[in-house]
Structure 1
């Protein structure tokens, strides 16, 4: 009986992990700045990419580039960002041959990383034949944790 108790305790101790990579995931609060499409057929020169923007110059450059064909920033919820408090996450999809596509972001964190899960949602049924490039832009509180896109 004593040996069975020792074996059970050993199994219990060995099955517990102190690995931080298994730490609990929590939602990261984000504020939507824009979720839309570019309609310039790629003339804006923005490739499929994930951006982390932490300064006003880079943010202004992106807005200028996005506005090069259509003034899309008119629909942003805000353009004046306090970069001492916030970081911008901007995700651009590839150019699509039809409308109805959009991107969803799910932002979580653990003790080691901020993880941005990007989901490309395709249209169901008939879609317009306009050429689009979906994008999704949010701001989050500044953090020392690295940001990883999945």
Structure 2
């Protein structure tokens, strides 16, 4: 007789599926942002956008010997963050594929994912346009549901 008992989740449902949904949400958010950047860069700017771009090009600063315009920094940070969001989502998917117990048991892995998603949602509500405000509640709910379904450690 086998005395080993598999870890039981609190509701009987597997927490991996909602976690994957949250991770895919991060990938979609980052890829969508990169697509938006490409579309915006190839579109004809409005007169207001031209004025804003000109003002940002004229505003420069030097940090650690590198001179950059405000436009350079804004675009660079935006694109870099999109890549990091995609990377986080892909790393989450890879980790849960190879070590599903990171999610099946309520570990810091799931809690950090939820906190990051909620923090990004708060920031989106204050400063960002609609797409992240639509996607981040889904990712946050998915990570929270995954934690709820996970077995207590």
TM-score for the superposition, normalised by structure 1: 0.28
Higher strand share: 1
The TM-score normalised by the length of structure 2 is 0.28
